[in-house]
Amino acid sequence: MATTSAGERSGTRRITFLVALAVFAQESTWNFYESQVPPLLREHIASAALVGLLMGMDNLLGIFIQPWIGARSDRTRTSWGRRMPYLVIGMPIAAVLFTLIPHAAASPTLLIAVMFCYALVANSFKPIAEALVPDFIAPERRSRANAAVKIASSLTTIVAALVSLLLVDDHPNIAFAIPSVIMLISIGVLAVTVRDSRSPAYRSLPAESEDAHGADRVAPRVRDTFVDIVKDRDRSRLLLLAAIFLFGSAWASSRSLITPYGMEALDMARGDAGSLTLPSGVAFILAAYPAAMFAERFGRLRVMTVGMTMFAAAMVLGTSVQNSTGTVAALCFAAAGGACFLVNAVVVLWNLAPSAQVFAAYGGLYTVSWTAGGFLGPALVGGMVDITGWSLMLVDIAVVAALSIVVVTRISTLRRRAALTLAQ
């Protein structure tokens, strides 16, 4: 038994590392895309609103593509598995398209076309690598695996900043090529080492794909999956998607509006205000793995609720100590609390899935809810700021976070009732 247990732990660490490597490669290109494509657009487009609209194109595409491609991946059956074919095809194409971006910068039409193609392809495999986590890893170990994935994703911010600092001014073509090379190396490693047809989830599919009479049962489409969630009398899954949207709104607002907040409320220069969130990135990385460990010990919903409460409280405290030092401390405390939600929310959604047939579709629905919150949240909080003023922006964010706390508390109540019903 001890040998088997050790082997299982080794396999868990191995697949966690490989998934983290894939996500690190993907997010390296996305982070660099977000930081360095806007200046290329500004060379041709004077309107900041139009630049922002074009930069939001990838999020809009993701809302439609990611759930669909996730559900399609769930229905795929090959000797290589149901995830790897999409990654092996999609990641190299995305790497090539990403490398072409600076070469297309001379023409606005060509630049936008390459941006669209990159966003289309990159969104087509974005949720699939993370779906390997529930495919290979048992439910009780998924939080710490997802914590490693989130840490890898967070580290890409540092990588993008270093490449920008060292190369982008003098060697822009090389700067764009580096994240592409990282992606190609990553998919090369995955192609050699991973066959998700050997995963426990994939092996369970033949049994799951037959009904009680032995007839084939087709894996659900994404529309069917969402309808099932909406119609379910147990509202846990639907409420969780709502909580992801609400907390995503609060989180995105705390990142995207902090620079104007620093300028308007704290009277800081633009550059100084833009650096307010940097220490909180380190706080998030440090908090991610403990958040997973606490979740496995005390329960994921409980740890999520505590973390969201920390986040909301930090926003209020940041308002009461309204200076740059107080704001940085508040953002660090909030990031640690946010890690409790970000590490565990998708794991709760995976674990609420009715079967392994819909893991990637559920991951896509998580991404849609989070992305929608990131898209609409800053606008919502911005409207609140128009009423309350910049000095109360952090309190406005706390109000949105408080709504997500109410929703998660309701989910906890429903799960306890369901557990009592089963016990009876």
- pLDDT score at 83: 86
Beta strands per DSSP E along 77-137: none
In order of their start, the domains of the chain are 2-208 (1.20.1250.20), 222-423 (1.20.1250.20)
- Burial of residue 170 (number of CB atoms within 10 Å: 0-12, 13-18, 19+): exposed
Residues whose CB is less than 8 angstroms from the CB of residue 227 and which lie 6 or more positions away in sequence, other chains included? none
- CA–CA gap between residue 237 and residue 312 (Å, rounded): 23
What pLDDT is recorded for position 286? 92
Instruction: Give the CA angle between residues 264, 257, 325 to the nearest 5°.
Output: 65
How far apart CA 279 and CA 277 sit, in angstroms, is: 6
Taking CA atoms, 301 is separated from 77, 101, 115, 148, 418, in Å, by: 33, 42, 38, 19, 14
Question: Hey, CA dihedral for 368, 121, 80, 17, is it positive or negative?
Answer: negative
Q: Is 228 left (phi over 0), alpha (psi -120 to 50) or beta?
A: alpha
pLDDT at 215: 40
Residue 348 identity (one-letter amino acid): V
DSSP state for residue 167 in the 8-state scheme: I
Name residues whose C-beta falls within 8 Å of residue 289's C-beta, 6 or more positions apart in sequence.
Answer: 144, 147, 148, 151
| pLDDT score, position 91 | 92
pLDDT, block means (10 residues), the chain with 424 residues: 54 82 85 77 75 75 83 83 88 94 90 92 84 82 84 78 74 87 90 82 64 48 79 88 94 82 84 76 90 90 96 94 91 94 91 80 85 83 88 94 95 80 60
pTM: 0.76
Write down the pLDDT at residue 15.
84
The CA distance from 286 to 304, in Å, is: 16
Are the CB atoms for 408 and 304 separated by under 8 Å? yes
